[in-house]
Amino acid sequence: MHPLEVVRGSMENWSEPELGALAVGMHKARESCTELKAENFSDDELYDLAKLCSFGQDWNDANSAATRYMDSRAEPHRAQAFALSINALVHLNGVDLAIQTSQLLLQSMPYDAEVAYAIRYMKDYLEQAGNQMARKLAEDEHEKIVHALQQGTALKAAYGDAVMGYGLLYDSAMELAFFEKFAGMDEEAAATAAECDDAVRSATALTAEDRQRIDSVRLQFRLLGTKLPEVAVTRSLLSAAAKPQLPPGFGEGTVLVVFPDWCAQCRNLMKTLTEFGKVNATTPLHAYGLMFHEDEDTGGQAPHAPTFKELQGTETFVVPETTAQTFGILDYPTAVVVDRNGLIRFIGMLPADAFSGDGYVSKVIQRMVAAAHARGPTQPSGKGGCPAGASAENQCI
């Protein structure tokens, strides 16, 4: 089911009738929300109003209803009400208030699946926005999520049916180690990862899916700071004359986006990825898509011709399926970012607008350069990097 879940998880892949039905439902929800007042409701009906207004994207009224429910101290949906308030505040550009609400959620509610999902949402939002508070929020959560890992089982909600699988719980706990590693805090990252791994030792009945997720996260963490492995390329889709190999230089940074040919939102990303490379050619920054074929029924043959045609003229290379395994990639699109010396400095999921303007990829590269300065001067590789002795401020990103 994983390929289907990945594709259906992006609204870019929804059909016009589905998007139309969603728009109608949201419009009706918004109309209903504006006709109702939070002060006229209590208990479950107040919580239902918060959900209704959220679906209608009436963020002010959604936050008002959610906050009133939280303040009422009603228990069944209090954690979910916090989550609705956090989401509404993010959409209202009240990021500081959303962070404060997240911290209050951690302080005032038992740490269960609802809390874990709400905090993960906020960590991921802050990370993709380039907000350093992502690491602070992960630090605030760390003791609680490690304690949850020590229980050796999936994390369930105190009320309701929400469950965070053990593999995903470990993944979320390890976000702090990744944030620290991204920031050049190598010793702190190693200590955080060790705490998470120690906690996992108490788990004795993990599912195959949980083990796969844990192994993937561990592999990706180990890869940070190491040399980029050799990437085999069988075809370039840039042009018929293009060589089927990655260019030798890393420039001031190189972004590799790994994805299977069935990932429609990943394919859509290749146009903005290619434009990103053109815009940053003088820096230089490089960006390449690494597409593989995953359908075993075809005996590992190359993707179908329509896929080739769709991506013709983009900086996309066809690679073996084992490329995803090399980087421990389970979800798509996932980027691997290397510095001028070919050392891996980032592995993570990308949003749809990652390459647009000052999007997530630009923020990742800016942080990578800042972390390099914090680690101390390093010599460029001589392959597309800044000249030795060049001023990073004047000649590099």
Q: Give the pTM.
A: 0.89
Please indicate, yes or no, whether residues 167 and 270 belong to a single structural domain of this protein.
no
Given 195, 223, 251, which residue is the final one in a domain? 223
CATH number, position 350: 3.40.30.10
- 3-state SS class at 159: coil
Per DSSP, the residues of 163-195 read EE-HHHHHHHHTHHHHHHHHTT-HHHHHHHHHH
397 residues of the chain, pLDDT tens digit each: 777 888 888 888 888 999 999 999 999 999 999 999 999 999 999 999 999 999 999 999 999 999 999 999 888 999 999 999 999 999 999 999 999 999 999 999 999 999 999 999 999 999 999 999 999 999 999 999 999 999 999 999 999 899 999 999 999 999 999 999 999 999 999 999 999 999 999 888 899 999 999 999 999 999 999 999 999 999 999 988 888 999 889 999 999 999 999 999 999 999 999 999 999 999 999 999 999 987 655 444 455 567 788 899 999 999 999 999 999 999 999 999 999 999 999 999 999 999 998 999 999 999 999 888 777 665 444 333 333 333 333 333 3
Asked if residue 65 belongs to a domain, the reply is: yes
Q: How far apart are CA 98 and CA 120, in angstroms?
A: 13
Domain interval for residue 113: 2-223
Please indicate, yes or no, whether residues 217 and 245 belong to a single structural domain of this protein.
no
Half-sphere exposure of 182 (CA within 13 A, CB side): 24
Quote the number of domains for the chain.
2
Asked if residue 230 belongs to a domain, the reply is: no
Asked if residue 228 belongs to a domain, the reply is: no
Asked if residue 347 belongs to a domain, the reply is: yes
Asked if residue 142 belongs to a domain, the reply is: yes
Please indicate, yes or no, whether residues 335 and 367 belong to a single structural domain of this protein.
yes
Please indicate, yes or no, whether residues 27 and 153 belong to a single structural domain of this protein.
yes
Please indicate, yes or no, whether residues 272 and 321 belong to a single structural domain of this protein.
yes
Given 223, 257, 282, which residue is the final one in a domain? 223
CATH number, position 137: 1.25.40.10
Please indicate, yes or no, whether residues 90 and 183 belong to a single structural domain of this protein.
yes
Please indicate, yes or no, whether residues 204 and 247 belong to a single structural domain of this protein.
no
B/e letters for 165-198, b = 16+ CB within 10 Å, e = fewer, are bbbbbbbbbbbbbbbbbbbbbeebbeebbebbbe
Asked if residue 229 belongs to a domain, the reply is: no
Please indicate, yes or no, whether residues 25 and 174 belong to a single structural domain of this protein.
yes
Asked if residue 35 belongs to a domain, the reply is: yes
Please indicate, yes or no, whether residues 213 and 254 belong to a single structural domain of this protein.
no
The DSSP symbol for 227 reads B
